Chain A
């Protein structure tokens, strides 16, 4: 019952003209920069930081938080329309979303992304409201060995991401791990693959990497196609909203994605990127038609988009209940809290209930605002696809270049994007996939760090992974998944041998 009292307090804070205005500005800007490739929530939040100094604490936080989860709504737009991930968490949406757009189903894809994001955001919020403190204490039990087992599970799931040859996916994953090594060795500080370039000391930037690998390579492929005389988007637009069948197919992926994303978002280092990949792989594994994933299935859009939105709600939990930001955006938000004199942590709910509940209420309101914002825009975005490609692609390239530069004020990022654009183009011509590479790129460094830290904790013994309950659970899951993927091929070979003997 007190939850409703508290929520009422929150809503009373938020249903004021000024507060609603701040909320709207936040989600509007968030959607905008989510759509624009490259510049993401962090860059924008830092630009608006000085303006928020003068505002009251709750409103400043509401605005900046709105930018964060608003960006998750907008990120899917360019992924679906032009295969450019608005940011890293939208990479997976490219896989099926763009294919749907090519078949004329961009409207339903965008619609399901918006609705899925809304439902997932709301589910995540309910979770934040009701079970934040117990979940936070579970997150604390995740030390290096537990993270390592989670990384093992994540890397195995990679296999399910592959639409084509598994061997090629593994090759791309290996390459992704190597790319993830670029930078410095965390233990000793020695540089790896840096070749004397200071910009590489922090590794390859995630955003220019995926923008190049997916977006720029697509532009190159399309130019090649149109040079051969074929036009790019031929099929007529079939409907602007998801139809009944789409909804039936999507409701379970959305639910699963929401829960999965929420749980993964709580873990520091987890977040929207990993949850989108994992939910896509899970959907593909349990689907009745896995071979259709990658050609334009609605589930392949619904699940990751839901996951990355509920992950943002989950990400607030460690920040608000423990004062530990699980990702870079939350770290910035933590800074805002502190500058305004509010210290997030176990005492936040008791000392500053109006801030906690005001924020929760603002997120409900923000999600509704975002749905209302995004749905009518779908018609607008779909029109964009009608623009002749020879006018569209220079604009795409321009936005990508500006976006890549704006992340770190660095021309090096532009170079990275272009290099991976060429790489991606060559990869796709020879049927090598980018998604396993991206996942391995994200997971590789975390895998290494958690392994080394775990071994430091255990003084070199590997048994630490099997003596701690959560870690053991993860390792056993990994082994089961591995066995599960090998068994079918062993069975097939057993069937083949008798046939050969007959001959």
Chain B
């Protein structure tokens, strides 16, 4: 009889032990209220040392102490951010794979044939953390000193203004914004696409081009302070501190060139993971060291949480889509 009792006790014991042990195993893959329990992979869609990379790595460092685990940044460059986006899209939605996104990923890429996603339904946008100052920079020896003067000069010199952009009209929100200005002000400029901001700075310093629309960085800022360059306008809403008298496109024309730099994940993350990440990143972007660094890089921290960023991206995406249709039609007629 004792033997039977012992057998029953052992069976109960083994059963209980296995229930206790199985609790620790992530069977469904996403029912872990202790998330995160291991490091989180983070795909940066541009190569190391680049502008985007130098923004995302500090954010990850600032956020990791609030989320409780380190991030593992992996650079996945290619296709202006598309390769990195695909890596995020195909990852398991368990919260252990995240990625960074820029404006191009969410506004332009879905309209390009090579991009495997045509809308953002495979992604969850978690936050936006930086908006770029997008100044229009002109050489100080240019025959105009303000935006108004530039417009007048451009009217008298069609295609005379050689302006550097980072992408063509259908590939860059900045060029698209400038094209809109061309329509409204009835001017014609020459778009010169420079693949790298270093080549553009070289051409601007050397006098080969007269203006550029690229992101601001400390090097350009030092030339502006020295008086070699001048800012004529801002393509976004944000203005560089100290340059509040320079008009922004919002004031001049009522629209802006959208810019986003944020974090996204594959769609389908469980709610408690999303909440944990929202909370951690919200604290991360407020880290004083991080804000300090961003200010030194002239990349203002503009935090938009999940709700806000989805709304704005949605709006901008629609506007960009409409403009792209017009641009494509224009291209088609030009080819004939």
Contacts and interface: CB of A to CB of B under 8 A. Distances in A.
Contacts of A456: 162, 190-192
A477 to B, nearest CB: 21
B82 A201 contact: yes
A408 B78 contact: yes
A199 interface: yes
A142 B223 contact: no
Interface in B52-105: 53-54, 57, 61, 74-80, 82-83, 86
A338 B217 contact: yes
B48 A269 contact: no
A338 B49 contact: no
A189 B192 contact: no
A324 B218 CA distance: 11
Interface in A27-56: 42-43, 45-47, 49-50
Contacts, number: 152
A253 interface: no
Contacts of B50: 331-332, 335
Interface in B259-316: 293, 296-297
Contacts of B76: 408-410
Given A188-B170, A326-B198, A198 B49 contact: no
A87 B48 CA distance: 18
A201 B79 contact: yes
A339 B199 contact: no
A323 B228 CA distance: 14
A141 B114 contact: no
Interface in A255-310: 268-269
Nearest to A340: B296
B218 A198 contact: no
A143 B204 CA distance: 9
B195 A332 contact: no
A345 B49 CA distance: 19
A334 interface: yes
A315 to B, nearest CB: 12
A335 B80 CA distance: 19
Contacts of B296: 338-339, 341
A408 B198 contact: no
A268 B171 contact: no
A202 B78 contact: yes
A23 B132 CA distance: 36
Interface string B182-223: 000000001111011011011101111100000001110111
A80 interface: no
Contact of A143 (B57, B190, B208, B217): B208
Interface residues of B, number: 57
Interface string A179-198: 00000001111010010111
Interface in A445-474: 449, 453, 456-457, 459
User: Which bucket holds chain A's interface residue count?
Assistant: 35 or more
A337 B300 CA distance: 19
Given A50-B57, A343-B222, A189 B168 contact: yes
A55 B320 CA distance: 44
Given A201-B79, A201-B80, A196 B219 contact: no
Given A46-B75, A49-B49, A408-B76, A201 B114 contact: yes
A300 B180 CA distance: 55
A140 interface: yes
A174 B78 CA distance: 25
A384 interface: no
A144 B79 CA distance: 25
Nearest to B51: A335
Given A268-B202, A323-B219, A409 B74 contact: yes
Interface string A39-81: 0001101110110000000000000000000000000000000
A325 interface: yes
Output the residue of B114, B193, B198, B296 with the most chain A CB within 10 A. Answer: B198
Nearest to B190: A456
Contacts of B112: 191
Nearest to B220: A323
Output the residue of B51, B76, B170, B201 with the most chain A CB within 10 A. Answer: B201
Nearest to B223: A345
B325 to A, nearest CB: 16
Contacts of A49: 48-49, 57
Given A143-B208, A341-B296, A345-B222, A188 B78 contact: no
B159 interface: yes
A403 interface: no
B116 interface: yes
Nearest to A334: B219
A336 B218 CA distance: 12
A347 B226 CA distance: 10
Contacts of B321: none
B225 to A, nearest CB: 10
A227 to B, nearest CB: 38
A328 interface: yes
Given A46-B53, A191-B114, A347 B48 contact: no
Nearest to A269: B199
A141 B170 contact: no
B47 interface: yes
A25 B24 CA distance: 43
B219 A345 contact: yes
Contacts of B47: 42, 46, 328, 408
A198 B115 contact: yes
Nearest to B175: A189
B326 to A, nearest CB: 15
B114 A196 contact: yes
B300 to A, nearest CB: 16
Output the residue of B57, B82, B112, B114 with the most chain A CB within 10 A. Answer: B114
Contact of B83 (A199, A324, A343, A449): A199
A318 interface: yes
Contact of A409 (B75, B114, B205): B75
A166 interface: no
Contacts of A334: 219
A332 B48 contact: yes
B297 A140 contact: no
A318 B202 contact: yes
A447 B193 CA distance: 15
A341 B296 CA distance: 8
B36 interface: no
Contact of A42 (B48, B57, B162, B217): B48
Interface of A: 42-43, 45-47, 49-50, 139-144, 186-189, 191, 194, 196-199, 201-202, 268-269, 318, 322-326, 328, 331-336, 338-339, 341, 343-347, 408-410, 449, 453, 456-457, 459
Interface of B: 47-51, 53-54, 57, 61, 74-80, 82-83, 86, 112-116, 159, 162, 167-168, 170-171, 190-193, 195-196, 198-199, 201-203, 205-209, 217-219, 221-223, 226, 293, 296-297, 331
13 contacts: A46-B47, A140-B202, A186-B195, A191-B114, A197-B114, A201-B80, A323-B223, A328-B49, A331-B198, A332-B48, A341-B296, A408-B77, A457-B162
Question: Would you list the 5 A-B pairs with minimal beta carbon distance, nearest first?
Answer: A46-B48, A332-B49, A143-B208, A189-B171, A201-B79
Given A197-B114, A345-B219, 19 more contacts: A50-B61, A140-B205, A142-B202, A143-B203, A188-B331, A189-B171, A198-B86, A201-B79, A202-B77, A268-B199, A268-B202, A269-B199, A324-B219, A331-B49, A331-B50, A331-B196, A338-B296, A453-B192, A457-B192
